[in-house]
Structure formats: C-alpha cells, structure tokens
Amino acid sequence: MIKIYGYQLSQATMRVRIALNLKGMAFEEEFLDLLKGDQFDATFVAINPQHVVPAVVIEGVDIALFQSMAILEYLEETWPSPPLLPEDSVARARVRGLAQTIVSDTHRASVPATRKYLTDTLGHSDVELRDWVHNWAGKGLQAIETRLANDGYAGRYCHGDGPTFADICLFPQIIGARRYSVPLEPYPRIIDIFERCMEDKAFVDAVPE
C-alpha cells in the first residue's frame, strides 16, 4: 500500500502522482489544506516535521519518504520499469539538471509558505507577489526553453521520445504558471511538450482538478 499526504494544488505532490501513474502503481492520497494550516497538525508533523508535502508512506518501509525528487529516485530504484531516467550517465545528469531547474530554482518562489511570507510578513501587495512569481517562473522556463532548443537532446519530450523526471517536473510548473497568468508565449517548445503530456492519462489524472 502506498499513501501520499498531499495538497491538491501542490506541484511537488503532482510530480509524485505522475510518477506513480507512469509506473502503473496504485496509491491513495490524504489531502491536507496548506492554506488552513493542516501541515502543522501534530499527526502530520510526526510524519514530516518540515511541514511540507508530499510525504509518502509505503507498507514495509519504516520511514515516511519526503521531498518529491527523493521520492522519485526511490521509485525509480525500486520499480525501474518503465524507466524515467535515461541509461547514459550524461543524459541522466541532463534530465536531473532540467528537473532541478524547476524544483530548486523556480518552484519554491510560488509555494504557499513563500507567498504567505511575502504578503503577510513583508507586507508586499498582490501585484508585487504576482511580479515576483512571474519573474522567477520566467527565468526558469527561459533556461529550459533554451536548452531544449540548443543542446540536441530534446525529442517529443524534454529528453528523447519518452517522459522522464524532466517532464514530470515541467508539467506541474506549467499548470502553476497558468494559474498565476505567467506569459507562456516565449516558450513554444515547452508548450509543445506540455500539450503532449496532456495526451497521456498518467499526467492528466494527476492534475488538481
């Protein structure tokens, strides 16, 4: 049994849903409302003291798994088929780099904790928050768009013709970017890949709606 503790709109949780769907693994999900503060409930704090989602509990595993990329790596090592990383070591590094461009440098700028700190603690307006999100989303997406155009590895997906960690991370980022009205016209290759993912049930079944 695999159980995800997640949040409907969480991009990080969506990554784990997509990976499990692609690997054909059944799971159940308990939703936490991060805006209401469910992540600070003592029951969840015992599972993940960082107060963030996702956390994954797997029968037979003696700890709850945390941080979406670590969870994806665990799934890839434990259930390697279908593979979500290329075989070649350089190609694997490229895919991980694309994924981390989103996870480490882009996504964090728009998570609820960051937004709340900017508006409630620092007193920034909704317009300033929007500009903040647009700035960091745009920088990350432009970097990925440039690599997709220039390094010769992209195919139907971010790397070759099958989904990898890179697509699993990019897809939720575009869902989130649309929610914040981030202009996406400058990124035609990214949008082509996003639309291809939208044809795959594993991706579609993971979206919040």
pLDDT at 108 (0 to 100): 79
Within this chain, do residues 72 and 133 fall inside the same structural domain, yes or no? no
Buried/exposed code over 47-71 (b: 16+ C-beta within 10 A; e: otherwise) = bbeeebbbbbbbeeeeebbbebbeb
CATH number of residue 144's parent domain: 1.20.1050.10
Regarding whether 101 and 63 lie in a shared domain, the answer is: no
Query: Quick check: 84 and 22 in contact, CB under 8 A?
Result: yes
Q: Please provide residue 99's backbone torsions phi and psi, each rounded to the nearest 5 degrees.
A: -60, -45
pLDDT confidence of 113, banded at 50, 70, 90? confident
Going by pLDDT thresholds of 50, 70 and 90, the confidence category of residue 81 is very high
Whose tokens are 């709606």? That residue is 209
Which pLDDT score is estimated for 190? Answer: 98
Range of the domain at 27: 2-78
Residue 84 lies in a domain: no
Report the mean per-residue pLDDT for the chain. 95
d(CA 178, CA 54): 22
pLDDT computed for residue 100 by the predictor: 97
Instruction: Report how many domains make up the chain.
Output: 2
Q: To the nearest whole percent, how much of the chain has pLDDT over 90?
A: 89
Q: Do 97 and 39 share a structural domain? A: no
